[in-house]
Structure 1
Amino acid sequence: MSVRVEARTVLLRTVFLLIGAALFLAFGLLGISVAATGQEAANPAVAVGGAILVATLLVAVSLFPGVRDMEVAAARILLEPPGELLDHPADPRGHRWRTTWFVLAHVLAGGVAGTSLVVGIPLAFSELRWALGALATMGVLVLVVALGAGLARLAVVCLGPTAADRLAVAEQRIGREQAQRALARDLHDGIGHALSVISLQATAGRQMVARDPQHAEDSLAIIAETSRRALAELDHALGVLRDEPGPADRAPVQHLDDVPVVVASYVAGGADVRTTLADPTGVPDLVSREAFRIAQEGLTNAFEHGDGRAIHLETRVGDAVVVTVRNGVPDDPPARRAPRSAGRGLDGLRERVALLGGELDVQQVGRTWELVARLPLPLGDRPGGAR
C-alpha cells in the first residue's frame, strides 16, 4: 500500500472518530448538566442517576431502526474495513446487541480521540518543553491511528456477517442455482419440442402445398401456435432471469391432460405416433406437470433421433405415474448420427425424476430405444389404478 493511500485511510478513519467525538460531546454535556444539578443539590444519587441515564440513552439510540444502516454505511466509506460488512442480516434481532457494542465503542473511541486531539496536543505544547510536546503529539497521533484501525477491525466483527448470515446467503445461492437449472430444463424441453414440431410441420406443409392446400394451411396454423407457445416460454424465462414480475399466466403450464395435443402436433405433420394413455384424473399437479415434460422430451428425442418408424407412447397411473416411450434406432453407426443434444435432454429428465424420488431407465435393446420414467405417488394421491 502506498504512502498516499495509507494517509488517505488514516484521514478517513480520523473523520469517523470525530463523528464519534461529536456524539460523545453531546451525551457528555447531558451527563455534566445532570451531574451539576446533583452537585448543587448536594445529592450524589442524582449524579449517579444522571450517569446511568446517559448510558441508557446511548444504548437506546443504538437500538433505533436505521442506526445500524448508518453505521454500516459510514464504516464502509470511512473506516475501509478489512472484511465484509452486511447490509441486510438474515436475523436482524441477533445483530442488535452487536450494533450496540459497536456504537458504544465508536462513541468512546471518538471521545478519547477527540479529547486527545483538541485538549491533549495544545496542553502538551503549553505545559511541556518543545521536544516533549512534539513527542506527546506523536503519541496522540499514534493513538488516533490505533483507535481507527481498531474500530475498522471491530466493524467487521460487529457489523459483518455471522455464521447464520453466511448460511442464509449460501442457501439463497443454492436456491438460485436450482432455479436456473430448472429454467434450463424447461427451456431445453419446451423450445426443443417447439423446434421439432415446427420442422415437422414445415416439411409436411411444403410437400402438401400443391396437392392439399388445406393440409398446408393446417400445418402453418400449427407452426404459428407452436411458435407462440415457445415465445411465451422464452419470455417467461427472460422475465425470471431479469427478476421481472409478471402476470400469473405469463408462464404456460401444461399437464398430462395436454399430452394428446402434443401427440396431435406430430401426427398432423406425418409422424407415426401410437399412444396408450391413462386417465390422469387425480394425479397431483406437480407430478402431472413433470410427467408431461417427460413425455414431451421423449417424443422430441424419438422424432429427432429415431429411424422414422412408429413411436410408441404409453402412460400408466397406479401407485406411480409411468411414462414409456419407444422408438426405432437408425442403422447408421453412432458416430454418424446426430448426438442426443449432448445428453442435456436426458440429464434434465434425470434431474426431474430424481427431484420427485422416481426412477429413470433409458436403454437400447437391439434396434429399439426405450425410455421409462416412474414417478411415485403419495398414498393419499393414488387413483384406483390405470384406466
Structure 2
Amino acid sequence: MRALLGARARHRWVHLVIGGALLMPYFLVGSVVVGGVAGGAGSFDSFPRALVTFALALPLATVSGLVPIARPLLVFGVRALCGVAPAALADGPARSWDARLRTSAWYTLQVALGGVVSGASLALPPFTVFLIALPVVPGLRHSVYSTGGPLATGWGLALAPAAGIAMLLTLAACSAAAGALLARLAPVLLGPSPADRLAAAEQRAVELAVRNRLARELHDSVGHALSAVTLQASAARRVLDSDPAFVREALAAIEETTRRTVDELDSVLGLLRRDDGDPGAPDLATPGLAALEGLLSRTGLDVAYTLEGDPSRVPELVSREAYRIVQEGLSNALRHGARSPVTLHVAVSERELTMTMENSWSGAAPVVRPGGGRGLRGMAERAALLGGHASAGPDGGVWRLDARLPTGGAR
C-alpha cells in the first residue's frame, strides 16, 4: 500500500498529471485535424478517433522537446516530484543534438504516460463511486435494470463495490509503475551528456586552479611574514636588555613586514570578494624581482645576494612567481636554519631565469613552525605552471633551493 499510495507514489502521480496537462495543447491541435478529416466529428465522440488524435499529438510533443530550454524545465519537475538523485540529472539547456534527442524522448514519454494516467484518473473515480453506491441507491438500481447488462444481475450488484475498489487499486498500481519507469529513465534521458560532463569538469578545474592560486598567495605572503615576525620577535626578546639598538631594528622590520603583508592580504581578499562581471576589479598585487632587495632587508637574515642580467627583461608573470619562490625559500631558511647566513644567486638569460639559494641545515626540527607546511609543493606548482622546475631539500649540511623558469613565455 505504501508503494501504491505513499508520498513518493503521490508525488509521481502529480508529475504524471502535469504531463497530461502538457499533452492537452497538442491534443487540441490533433483534434482539429481529426475533425476536419471526419467531417466535423469530435475526437471524444468515439474511442478510435480519440486514439488517432492521441497518436497525432505525440509527434508534436516530440518536436517541442527539441528546444534546448526544455531540459532544465523538465529536470526541475523530476527533481521536485520523482525522487531522483539531483546529481544524476543535467543542469542547463541541452546544447548538443544527442542531449536534445534524449530530452525529446523523455518529454514524449512523460506526456504519453501522463495523458493515459490523467484520463484514467478523471474517468475511473466517478465510475467507482457509482459502483459502490449501486447496491444501496434504488434509483441507480432501476437505471441499471432498465438498461440490462452484467450489473443488472444479483451477483453483479453484490460485486459492484468490490469491482470499483479494484479499479482504483489498478489505477494506483498503473500510476506507480509509470512513475517508477520515468524515475528509472530520468538519469538516462535527462542525465548529463559527455559534453556536459566535460564542461562541468573544466569548470571545476578552473575553480580549483583559482582556489590553489589564492592558497599559494596566502601561504607565501602571510606564512613568510609570520615566520619573519616570529624570528625577529624571538631574537628581540632575548636581547631586550642588552642590545636596545637591535631591538629597535627588529621592531622596525616587524612593522614594515606586517604593513606590506596587510596590503598583500587585502589584495587576496579583494579577489575573493570580486564579482566575475566586474572588469575593473584589481588583480593580485604581487611584487616582482625588482622588490627582492626590499624583501631581503626585512627578513632579518644575513643574505649574500648576487644578480646577473637585467631583471626588467623578465616577463611580469615570471617575475612575480620568481619573487614568491624566493620568498618561500627565505621562509624555509628562517624555519630550518634560524639566523644562519643565506646565499642567493639570480641569473637572467635570454631563455630562462635561474635562482639558487643555500643556507646551513642541521636536520633539526624547524625553529619557527615545527609542524611544517605546504610551501615546497606550492613552490613546485608555481614553477610547473610556467613550464619550469623548482625543487628544495637538504644537500649534505646545506638546504638548497634550485628553480628554473622560462622567460620566453609562460603557459
Report the TM-score range of the alignment, normalised by the length of the smaller protein. Answer: 0.7 to 0.9
Q: Which has the larger radius of gyration?
A: 2
C-alpha distance in structure 1 between counterparts of 2:267 and 2:96, whole Å: 34
**1:275 offset after TM fit, Å?**
0.8
Cα distance change, pair 276–89 in 1 and its aligned pair in 2 (3 A) = farther
Is the Cα contact below 8 Å between 2:94 and 2:100 reproduced in 1? no
Cα distance change, pair 55–8 in 1 and its aligned pair in 2 (3 A) = closer
- Opposite residue 11 of structure 1, the aligned amino acid is R
C-alpha distance in structure 2 between counterparts of 1:118 and 1:273, whole Å: 88
C-alpha distance in structure 1 between counterparts of 2:58 and 2:216, whole Å: 59
2:106 is matched with which residue? 102
Equivalent positions of 1:76-87 (< 5 A) are 76-81=79-84, 84-87=88-91
Task: Tell me the alpha carbon deviations over residues 248-298 of structure 1, each in whole angstroms, 9 at most, x when there is no partner.
Answer: 4352222222212212223xx5x3221112321222233222211111111
**Which runs of no fewer than 5 residues in structure 1 stay unpaired?**
43-48, 382-387
2:358 is matched with which residue? 326
2:146 is matched with which residue? none
Which among 355, 377, 396 is matched to residue 347 of structure 1?
Answer: 377
C-alpha distance in structure 1 between counterparts of 2:19 and 2:103, whole Å: 14
Task: Tell me the alpha carbon deviations over residues 139-181 of structure 1, each in whole angstroms, 9 at most, x when there is no partner.
Answer: 3332222111112222222222223323433343344334333
2:313 is matched with which residue? 282
Cα distance change, pair 368–119 in 1 and its aligned pair in 2 (3 A) = closer
Is the Cα contact below 8 Å between 1:68 and 1:99 reproduced in 2? yes
Which among 260, 276, 288 is matched to residue 255 of structure 1?
Answer: 288
Task: Tell me the alpha carbon deviations over residues 178-207 of structure 1, each in whole angstroms, 9 at most, x when there is no partner.
Answer: 433333222221112212343465556986
1:187 is matched with which residue? 218
Is the Cα contact below 8 Å between 2:20 and 2:115 reproduced in 1? yes
Task: Tell me the alpha carbon deviations over residues 202-224 of structure 1, each in whole angstroms, 9 at most, x when there is no partner.
Answer: 556986999659x93x7656544
1:114 is matched with which residue? 118
Cα distance change, pair 325–231 in 1 and its aligned pair in 2 (3 A) = same
C-alpha distance in structure 1 between counterparts of 2:315 and 2:4, whole Å: 63
Equivalent positions of 1:4-153 (< 5 A) are 7-40=6-39, 54=57, 57-64=60-67, 66-81=69-84, 84-88=88-92, 91=95, 94-120=98-124, 129=156, 130=160, 131-153=162-184
Cα distance change, pair 39–366 in 1 and its aligned pair in 2 (3 A) = closer
C-alpha distance in structure 2 between counterparts of 1:322 and 1:223, whole Å: 30
Task: Tell me the alpha carbon deviations over residues 23-64 of structure 1, each in whole angstroms, 9 at most, x when there is no partner.
Answer: 22332233213322333389xxxxxx9999855653454345
Cα distance change, pair 12–356 in 1 and its aligned pair in 2 (3 A) = same
**1:375 offset after TM fit, Å?**
2.0
Is the Cα contact below 8 Å between 2:84 and 2:183 reproduced in 1? yes
C-alpha distance in structure 1 between counterparts of 2:171 and 2:3, whole Å: 21
Is the Cα contact below 8 Å between 1:18 and 1:114 reproduced in 2? yes
Is the Cα contact below 8 Å between 1:185 and 1:348 reproduced in 2? yes
- Opposite residue 192 of structure 2, the aligned amino acid is P
Specify the SS of the correspondent of 2:313: coil
Is the Cα contact below 8 Å between 1:305 and 1:340 reproduced in 2? no
> For structure 1, which segment, 164-173 or 88-97, has the greater mean C-alpha deviation from structure 2 after superposition?
88-97
Cα distance change, pair 21–335 in 1 and its aligned pair in 2 (3 A) = closer
Equivalent positions of 1:144-293 (< 5 A) are 144-199=175-230, 216=248, 222-238=253-269, 248-249=281-282, 251-266=284-299, 269=300, 271-278=301-308, 279-293=310-324
- Opposite residue 323 of structure 2, the aligned amino acid is F
Equivalent positions of 1:302-381 (< 5 A) are 302-306=333-337, 308-318=339-349, 319-330=351-362, 334=364, 342=372, 344-378=374-408
1:384 is matched with which residue? none
Is the Cα contact below 8 Å between 1:82 and 1:152 reproduced in 2? no
| TM-score relative to the length of structure 1 | 0.78
Cα distance change, pair 163–192 in 1 and its aligned pair in 2 (3 A) = same
C-alpha distance in structure 2 between counterparts of 1:112 and 1:50, whole Å: 13
C-alpha distance in structure 1 between counterparts of 2:392 and 2:357, whole Å: 10
- Matched-pair identity in %: 37
- Opposite residue 22 of structure 2, the aligned amino acid is L
**1:7 offset after TM fit, Å?**
0.9
C-alpha distance in structure 1 between counterparts of 2:32 and 2:365, whole Å: 91
C-alpha distance in structure 2 between counterparts of 1:181 and 1:99, whole Å: 37
Cα distance change, pair 277–172 in 1 and its aligned pair in 2 (3 A) = same
Is the Cα contact below 8 Å between 2:71 and 2:93 reproduced in 1? no
- Opposite residue 294 of structure 1, the aligned amino acid is I
C-alpha distance in structure 2 between counterparts of 1:90 and 1:71, whole Å: 11
**Which runs of no fewer than 5 residues in structure 2 stay unpaired?**
42-51, 132-148
C-alpha distance in structure 1 between counterparts of 2:288 and 2:345, whole Å: 15
**Number of aligned residue pairs:** 367
**1:95 offset after TM fit, Å?**
2.7
1:294 and 2:320 matched: no
Specify the SS of the correspondent of 1:334: coil
Cα distance change, pair 189–154 in 1 and its aligned pair in 2 (3 A) = same
Is the Cα contact below 8 Å between 2:4 and 2:172 reproduced in 1? no
Is the Cα contact below 8 Å between 2:307 and 2:345 reproduced in 1? yes
C-alpha distance in structure 2 between counterparts of 1:259 and 1:118, whole Å: 81
> For structure 1, which segment, 303-312 or 289-298, has the greater mean C-alpha deviation from structure 2 after superposition?
303-312
- Opposite residue 21 of structure 1, the aligned amino acid is G
C-alpha distance in structure 1 between counterparts of 2:82 and 2:189, whole Å: 14
